[in-house]
């Protein structure tokens, strides 16, 4: 019990340092790891070794993947590919079903693109549709924000699920497959909320002409969607190939899928395909896109490594023995990582930081909770993702992006977007709990 109380104190301290003093999560997580080591009376050599080994082991398989995903996202954003995807979906679904169109667009775009960036890129299209169709901008804003959020926390190669999978030792392929399954009802619940409740809010706005860079021609639809779908398909095929039934045999096809479906190779393949989205422009501008993507990735990589260091220190403590008492809960064990992530998200605002920290805390609990199998670990990653949805409010940068670019006042954003994230989180938990009963 003593080490659990210390853990609660350290988590609250991390939140306090990041919120009150705006300390970077990288340093806050490392400070928390060191304090936990002191609280558990670990020997100096063990504590320092756990910090270094946890940091390095976490990044060994995930650093290149996060960087590659950031590059794909940056090229999709800068080349105009995100708008091409939105236009094609809108064309197929129709303006009458604009909320579904924008939700689907956000769902696809946010797989490689940060949800904040995706919303900013697509907000002008959202306003144009609202003017043409007469649908409330509040409805379209919540639909787009929810679609972006659904894959942001559930589907690799978004950094959060990748980082959690690395920390917990989960198979990324199964996280991806189950994440797609979970994210569909989550987005569906948010769309029902948007279309039935948010339509009563009327937002007055002026439609401004969107500034575009005439140097670059938007890529065709197939070029825009290929860098996203190819890595997902390759990673999923690898996980299917490795099933006990060996559906592809055990010879060259099996080995080819294992190689091409490795997350590093799959995402690097996506990077190569992303380069083809650029049509026109100068080489130096494209290089600036790479540099910007790597800057964004570097921050996430450092936070992920710090989370891994925190988790490694926790493994050296007696926390696992205390957590063994939760084994009696049985299949309800996914509630624990959900609550941890939800507390962190609501307290400090960042979904990615909440996911990484919650994964570090949960790592020693997998075996006592009965979720140390391949599917069990994947479900815990998703439970953490569901918690990191719950809830987005005034301390979350994404909340302000949605409110500002949809011209909502704070009260309206709280009544629409914030409630939507609560519904999404609870729907995600219920879906994951059902899968846990069926699969674990």
DSSP 286-321: HHHHHHHHHHHHHHHHHHHHHHHHHHHHHHTTTHHH
Residue position matching structure tokens 């959900």: 338
Average pLDDT over residues 245-250: 80
What length does the chain have?
A: 440
Task: Supply φ then ψ for residue 277, to 5 degrees.
Answer: -70, -20
> Is the pLDDT confidence value at 324 over 60?
no
Q: Which residue has the higher pLDDT, 328 or 411?
A: 411
Report d(CA 18, CA 15) in Å as an integer.
Answer: 5
Q: What phi and psi, each to the nearest 5 degrees, are found at residue 28?
A: -60, -40
CB 142 within 8 A of CB 123: no
Rounded to 10 deg, the angle between the 137-154 and 115-133 helix axes is 150
CB-based contacts of 399, cutoff 8 Å, min separation 6: 349, 392, 393, 413, 417, 418
The answer, yes or no, to whether the previous bond of 78 is cis (omega within 30 of 0) is no
Q: Contact, 112 vs 72, CB < 8 A?
A: yes
Lowest mean pLDDT among 105-109, 258-262, 296-300: 296-300
Which range among 204-208, 288-292, 414-418 shows the weakest confidence by mean pLDDT?
A: 204-208
What are the pLDDT digits (tens) for 371-404? 889 999 999 999 999 999 988 988 788 998 999 8
d(CA 111, CA 24): 25
| Mean pLDDT on 110-139 | 86
- Write out the residue range of the structural domain in which residue 17 sits: 2-439
What is the average pLDDT value for the chain, to the nearest integer?
Answer: 86
The pLDDT-based confidence of 69 (bands split at 50, 70, 90) is: confident
- Peptide bond preceding 102: is omega within 30 degrees of 0, i.e. cis? no
What are the Cα distances from residue 167, in Å, to 88, 303, 391? 37, 12, 23
Say what the pLDDT of residue 99 is.
93
Q: Does residue 119 register a pLDDT over 50?
A: yes
pLDDT, mean of residues 87-112: 87
C-alpha closest to that of 138 among 204, 206, 89, 207: 204
Residue 172 has pLDDT above 50, yes or no: yes
Report the percentage of the chain scoring pLDDT > 90: 34
pLDDT of residue 243: 82
Residue of 373, 421, 381, 331 lying closest to 176 (CA atoms): 381
Q: Which of 71-80, 145-154, 372-381 has the lowest mean pLDDT?
A: 71-80
pLDDT band at 143 (very low <50, low <70, confident <90, very high): very high
| Phi and psi at residue 216, to the nearest 5° | -105, 135
pLDDT over 60 (residue 210) = no
Cα angle 371, 374, 376 (rounded to 5 degrees) comes to 30
Mean pLDDT of 117-121: 86
> Average pLDDT of 354-369?
86
The answer to whether the beta carbons of residues 80 and 63 sit under 8 Å apart is: no
The model's pTM: 0.83
Interatomic CA distance for residues 240 and 174, integer angstroms: 9
Other residues' Cβ atoms within 10 Å of the Cβ of residue 232: 20
Give DSSP secondary structure letters for 250-281. SSHHHHHHHHHTSHHHHHHHHHHHHHTT--BS
What pLDDT is stored for residue 212 in this prediction? 47
Say yes or no to pLDDT of 288 above 70: yes
If one compares 413 and 319, the residue with the highest pLDDT of the two is 413
What pLDDT score does 155 carry? 93
- The pair of three-digit structure tokens given for residue 44, joined into one six-digit string: 């100096």
Q: Structural domain tally of the chain?
A: 1
| Residue 10 near residue 35 (C-beta atoms within 8 A) | yes
pLDDT score, position 118: 87
> Does residue 203 surpass a pLDDT of 80?
yes
Inform me whether the pLDDT recorded for 146 exceeds 90: yes
User: Residue 116: pLDDT band by 50, 70, 90 thresholds?
Assistant: confident
Q: Which residues lie closer than 8 Å to 320 by C-beta, 6 or more apart?
A: 364, 365, 367, 368
**Site of tokens 């080819």:** 256
pLDDT confidence of residue 321: 62
């Amino acid at each position: 019990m003593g080490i659990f109380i210390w853990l609660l104190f350290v988590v609250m301290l991390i939140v306090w340092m990041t919120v009150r003093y705006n300390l970077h999560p990288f340093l806050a997580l490392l400070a928390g790891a060191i304090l936990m080591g002191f609280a558990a009376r670990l020997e100096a050599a063990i504590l320092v070794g756990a910090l270094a080994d946890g940091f390095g082991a976490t990044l060994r398989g995930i650093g290149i993947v996060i960087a590659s995903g950031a590059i794909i996202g940056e090229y999709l954003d800068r080349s105009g590919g995100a708008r091409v995807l939105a236009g094609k979906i809108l064309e197929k679904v129709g303006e009458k079903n604009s909320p579904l169109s924008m939700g689907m667009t956000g769902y696809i775009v946010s797989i490689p693109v940060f949800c904040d960036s995706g919303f900013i890129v697509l907000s002008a299209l959202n306003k144009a549709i609202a003017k043409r169709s007469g649908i409330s901008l509040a409805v379209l804003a919540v639909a787009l924000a929810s679609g972006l959020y659904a894959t942001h926390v559930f589907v690799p190669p978004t950094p959060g699920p990748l980082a959690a999978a690395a920390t917990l030792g989960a198979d990324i392929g199964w996280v991806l497959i189950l994440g797609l399954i979970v994210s569909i009802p989550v987005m569906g619940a948010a769309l029902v909320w948007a279309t039935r409740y948010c339509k009563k809010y009327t937002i007055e706005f002026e439609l401004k002409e969107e500034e575009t860079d005439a140097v670059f021609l938007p890529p065709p639809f197939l070029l825009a969607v290929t860098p996203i779908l190819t890595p997902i398909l390759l990673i999923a095929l690898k996980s299917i190939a490795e099933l006990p039934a060996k559906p592809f045999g055990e010879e060259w096809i099996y080995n080819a899928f294992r190689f091409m479906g490795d997350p590093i190779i799959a995402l690097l393949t996506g990077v190569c395909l992303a380069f083809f989205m650029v049509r026109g422009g100068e080489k130096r501008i494209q290089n600036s896109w790479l540099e910007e993507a790597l800057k964004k990735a570097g921050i996430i990589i450092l936070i992920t490594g710090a989370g891994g260091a925190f988790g490694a220190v926790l493994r050296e403590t007696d926390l696992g023995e205390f957590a063994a008492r939760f084994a009696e809960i049985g299949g309800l064990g996914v509630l624990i990582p959900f609550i941890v992530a939800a507390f962190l998200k609501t307290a400090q605002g960042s979904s990615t930081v909440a996911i990484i920290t919650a994964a570090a805390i949960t790592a020693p609990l997998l075996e006592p909770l009965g979720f140390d199998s391949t599917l069990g670990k994947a479900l815990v990653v998703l439970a953490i993702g569901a918690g990191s949805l719950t809830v987005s409010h005034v301390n979350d940068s994404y909340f302000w992006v949605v409110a500002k670019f949809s011209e909502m006042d704070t009260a309206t954003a709280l009544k629409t977007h914030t409630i939507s994230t609560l519904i999404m989180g609870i729907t995600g938990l219920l879906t994951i709990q059902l899968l846990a009963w069926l699969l674990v």
